[in-house]
Amino acid sequence: MATAYLLPIKTAAALFPLLALVLLLPTAVLLYRRHGVMSPGRTLSLYGFLYYLLTAYCMTIVPLPKQTGDMCERFAPVAHPQWMPGNTFGDIWKEAHHKVGLNSLVLQNPAVAGTLFNLLLLLPLGVFLRYHFGRSLRATAVIGFVVAMSFELTQWTGVWGLYNCPYRLFDVDDLIVNTSGAMIGWLLAGPVARMLPALEALDGRALAARPVPFGRRLTALVVDVAGYVVASVFAAAVMTYQGGAAPSWIPVGIFAAWFILLPLATGATPGKRLLLLKLVADDGGPLVPWRLTLRALLLGALVMPFLSGLFLAMLTLLHEPWPSGLFATVRDSGAQGAAAVLTALSPVQLLAVMAGFTLTATCVRKTLRHPDRLAPHDRISGIRNASLPHRRAKRADAQGGGVRVAGQGIDRSEPVAVAVARAADDGSPAGDLDRPLVSKGPAGSAGSTGSPEIQRSAADSR
């Protein structure tokens, strides 16, 4: 039976890099908006959850059967859902050939192995929901049921219409066992969470070291560049459709509006606003047009290599046979198409692209080596990035404005994640720092035991 699970696992391993690449930008935006930082611990946990979820879905649909004319006849026994709870016990008794014994009923019974597999399938989901997402047991049961229902519906609909009929059975017992597995995983996650570092502590340490992470600014830049390209192409297409030719000043005008006028009016570009960043002057004064213009021009020199790379990729796709023969001849025509693009470019153009990428790599290196991670366009223009409160910090402020740990020197004005990280560095158990303790003594006291506590001060709330 172990070999039956090998193909789904290999399929998930092959698909995961593509899924991770597609979800990289949305994941970065989500983490930076919610936590202010994309710490390695939280990122590893989240991508581990995505890989597990992909593997779980592959387990339920792979291997895919071959589409044949008599497929529905071959899979007729699983055409109708099984709605009778407890049918699994009948299957166990049937697979045991009506014999009573440890081997026949348990050890060598394929129905027992299948039920155990269904129980273990969503057990990691319960662990992730408690440790990473902080969900309750009731929420875990609901989410586990929804995920299990998606498994069964995918099977019942023939992978959502990919096949004309189902090739696996929709079984209500699988829903019950899968949901139970998620709940058991939630119960087991308590001891597991105490052995692992608290994600809030990892976030706090990263924020304490870099209040405005380089990755956060880079993500905002990618969003801005993508938005600028889409806006330029859309504007050029509209004006071409209406007047027959797009003016050459369209990209320049949109660039000025995106990177100069909008920051001058709102203090941030759309990408920075999405990532909860704002532009501030080093001297604390207002943003002035000439500094924003200088910063935009320097930034444009860094962006152009990426735009050139997108242009080369577009030309390569245009040289490919699309759409029918693209995948059939990708090995030969892909190399030939790329060679044709490189041949079509003049030596000066190739030199410009190479120089641009070299300039970008040099600027990134200088930025990472700077003590404050300031990029050259930040230092020269005198304008740098500042972070706005992320979602968890706003929620903490709305609930009373931060936390205070008695005896640990954590100020209420600090962000929650930074405060928790400092407490962890002082020796508090990392697994318990994100669980507020109720003080038995007067407000503001350390309690009768003298142990560190996270408590809200009634005097601070007035």
pLDDT, tens digit, 9 for 90 and up, residues 65-91: 888 878 888 888 888 888 888 777 766
Rounded to an integer, the average pLDDT of 293-320 is 70
Percent of the chain with pLDDT over 90: 24
As a 3-state breakdown, the chain gives helix, strand, coil percent values, each rounded to 5, of 65, 5, 30
Q: How far apart (Å, rounded) are the C-alpha atoms in residues 169 and 153?
A: 10
Higher per-residue confidence, 444 vs 93: 93
Rounded to an integer, the average pLDDT of 416-440 is 41
CA distances to 312, 330, 376 from 318, rounded to whole Å, are: 10, 13, 36
What is residue 365's predicted lDDT score, i.e. its pLDDT? 87
| Position 136 pLDDT exceeds 50 | yes
* Helix ranges restricted to H, 244-329: 250-256, 262-266, 270-274, 289-318
For residue 82, the 8-state DSSP code is B
What is residue 343's predicted lDDT score, i.e. its pLDDT? 58
Tokens in use for 49?
Answer: 């959850």
Q: Can you give the three-state secondary structure of 201-267, one letter per residue? A: HHHHHHHHHCCCCHHHHHHHHHHHHHHHHHHHHHHHHHHHHHHCCCCCCHHHHHHHHHHHHHHHHHC
What is residue 438's predicted lDDT score, i.e. its pLDDT? 37
Rounded to an integer, the average pLDDT of 363-367 is 86
Q: Could you identify the residue written with the tokens 């880079």?
A: 218
Numbers of helices and strands, H then E, in the chain: 21, 4
| Position 419 pLDDT exceeds 70 | no
What is residue 353's predicted lDDT score, i.e. its pLDDT? 66
Confidence of residue 167 (pLDDT cuts 50, 70, 90): confident
Give the highest mean pLDDT range of 60-69, 74-83, 165-174, 288-297.
Answer: 288-297
| Position 436 pLDDT exceeds 70 | no
The tens digit of pLDDT for each residue in 239-252 reads 877 776 767 788 88
Tokens in use for 202?
Answer: 């990892």
Q: What is the mean pLDDT of the chain?
A: 75
Point out the least confidently predicted range of 215-219, 355-359, 396-400, 421-425. 421-425
The tens digit of pLDDT for each residue in 185-241 reads 999 988 877 877 777 777 878 788 888 888 899 999 999 988 998 998 888 888 877
CB atoms within 10 A of CB 169: 18
**Bridging pattern class, strands 383-387 and 454-455:** unpaired
Asked if 455 contacts 404 with a C-beta cutoff of 8 angstroms, the reply is yes
Tokens in use for 250?
Answer: 């369209």
Rounded to an integer, the average pLDDT of 131-143 is 91
CA distances to 60, 125, 259, 324 from 333, rounded to whole Å, are: 36, 43, 39, 13
Rounded to an integer, the average pLDDT of 142-160 is 92
Asked if 155 contacts 137 with a C-beta cutoff of 8 angstroms, the reply is no
What is residue 185's predicted lDDT score, i.e. its pLDDT? 94
- Cβ neighbors of 149 (< 8 A, separation 6 or more) are 175
What is residue 433's predicted lDDT score, i.e. its pLDDT? 34
Q: How far apart (Å, rounded) are the C-alpha atoms in residues 101 and 79?
A: 33
Asked if 110 contacts 95 with a C-beta cutoff of 8 angstroms, the reply is yes
Asked if 417 contacts 392 with a C-beta cutoff of 8 angstroms, the reply is yes
| Position 458 pLDDT exceeds 50 | no
Asked if 126 contacts 144 with a C-beta cutoff of 8 angstroms, the reply is yes
What is residue 204's predicted lDDT score, i.e. its pLDDT? 79
Q: How far apart (Å, rounded) are the C-alpha atoms in residues 419 and 384?
A: 25
Tokens in use for 380?
Answer: 């020269």
What is residue 424's predicted lDDT score, i.e. its pLDDT? 43
CA distances to 47, 59, 277, 372 from 25, rounded to whole Å, are: 13, 27, 16, 24
Point out the least confidently predicted range of 82-91, 105-114, 168-177, 409-418. 409-418
Asked if 380 contacts 301 with a C-beta cutoff of 8 angstroms, the reply is no
- Name the residue type at position 83: W
State whether the Cα torsion 457-459-460-462 is positive or negative: positive
Q: Can you give the length of the chain in residues?
A: 462
Asked if 62 contacts 13 with a C-beta cutoff of 8 angstroms, the reply is no
Our CA dihedral for 170, 173, 176, 180, rounded to 10 degrees, sits at: -120
Q: How far apart (Å, rounded) are the C-alpha atoms in residues 361 and 298?
A: 14
What is residue 455's predicted lDDT score, i.e. its pLDDT? 35
Question: What's the chain's Rg over C-alpha atoms?
Answer: 29
